[in-house]
Amino acid sequence: MPELPEVETVIGILKPLIIGKEIQKVEVYYDRLIQSNLDTFKTTVINKKITSITRYGKYIYIHLSDDFVIITHLRMEGKFRYLDKGNQRIKHTSAMFFFKDGTYLSFDDTRKFAIMYLTNEAELPTLPMISKLGVEANKVEEKDLPELFKKFNKNKPIKELLLDQSILCGIGNIYADEICYATKLNPYTKGKDISKEKIIEITKQAKIILNKAIELGGSTIHSFHPSEGVDGKFQEVLMCYGREGELCPRCSTKFHKDFIGGRGTTYCPNCQINHELEKAIGITGPIGSGKSTALNYLKEKGYRTYSADEIVHELYRKPHIQRKVSSIIKAPFDIDNKELTLKARKILIAFPERNKELQNYIHPLVENEFLNILKSEDNPVFEVPLLFKAHYEYMFKKILVISISKEQQLKNLASRNENIETSKKLNYNFEYPKDNPKIKVVEATGNFETFYKNIEKALD
């Protein structure tokens, strides 16, 4: 659906073409386009001159002589088409304006959701469709803020509130996603949980984003073009909308896509953290560092514990996933067959691109398993060797990074009868973001008692 910048672009295209034109007649081919009385509409506009074109939010106002106004909302795919010769009606033409100079203005609408309504200047502000609209999102002033604070103070996700035209007028799905990303707000965040300072930031970013989009002619997305042969350019600089599965330019996490209020919503789970999901304790570290020991210790302490490796193994046992893994590594695969598993590990070491493809496939599946657990549990513990590579940070309130000396790590691997060279290549040079405030480093030095004390200290 065209939003404020796209509507502004349409107006900019129409102004030099039709202002000053006198309407000779209008033919309506789809009666439901006209929401006011159809006969009155067709007879009243005859001999009227188009004096100006303005906009409020997503509504276009075509101002006529004698103080009449045609209100238009393009909805999903409505568009104007100017013709300087010939009545070139097409299949989806809903109405045609005939001008006295022999030119035409066609209104085409594939989906037939667009509307037109005839009113006058005096009645325009009082019409229900107009009077309920909030302040335009690219024109918020300081005086508007107190009322916005009240309107945002609701138990609804910010994504839904940004689409509510009675709060901020002119924002649609594209720009709501972009505003949430720019302000690092998770789209599920309830309005009542957003500070006044954050709302001010929302209005600031809304102005910046919408005005930039106007400057670039709006966004040409899917089937909407502002005019025949005219494309906007803002889609070329969109930061998150429509980028599901691509990497966030800020943190390299894959963009997620959910549906909020029935609208597709793209966001970065790590840049736009949903604090309601920050419920787990994470355990991670290099191979052979003692992650499983830490997990078992917390299990004995009464925590509900989960191993990412065990979850992955269960996933691998599902026939359709097993087939997909075989396709990725280009070899037979069975997690319960030691010979095939060892061969698969060697293939992943020899072909890093296959290892990356496998991780890109399996990480979202494990992530979904974790999210399902978080829906029913408030304080689970997850052991996740590739926690940072998979960008799972957003689910954790605290992450225990097990630190161990290389010497002790090799001893641990040897005691497990691991193929040390293979293990080292898979997960030996472990790295983590040292500036992440959720991280607590746990030294795996000394005896078990010391290790457990270090865990308790990190959890305190």
Enzyme catalytic residues:
2-3, 58, 263
Question: Which positions ≥6 away from 95 have C-beta within 8 Å?
Answer: 26, 27, 28, 29, 30, 33, 34, 106, 107, 116
Long-range contacts of 66-70 (CB under 8 A, 24+ apart): 67/120, 67/121, 67/122, 68/44, 68/118, 68/119, 68/120, 68/121, 69/118, 69/119, 69/120, 69/121, 69/124, 70/45, 70/116, 70/117, 70/118
Q: At what angle do helices 4-18 and 196-215 cross, to 10 degrees?
A: 40
Instruction: Collect all residues with Cβ–Cβ distance below 8 Å to 418 and sequence separation of at least 6.
Output: 287, 288
Query: Are the C-beta atoms of 377 and 254 separated by less than 8 Å?
Result: no
- 126 vs 392: CA distance, rounded Å: 50
Spatial CB neighbours of 404, under 8 Å, sequence gap ≥ 6: 285, 286, 288, 289, 290, 412, 443, 444, 445
What is the widest separation between alpha-carbon atoms in the chain? 95
CA nearest neighbour of 402 among 443, 448, 451, 430: 443
Phi, psi torsion values for 328, nearest 5 degrees? -70, -45
CA gap 9, 111 in Å, rounded: 21
How many angstroms separate the Cα of 412 from the Cα of each of 264, 287, 289?
Answer: 47, 9, 7
Query: Of all helices (H) and strands (E), which one includes residue 160?
Result: helix 158-163
CB 144 within 8 A of CB 177: no
208 closest CA partner among 148, 144, 138: 138
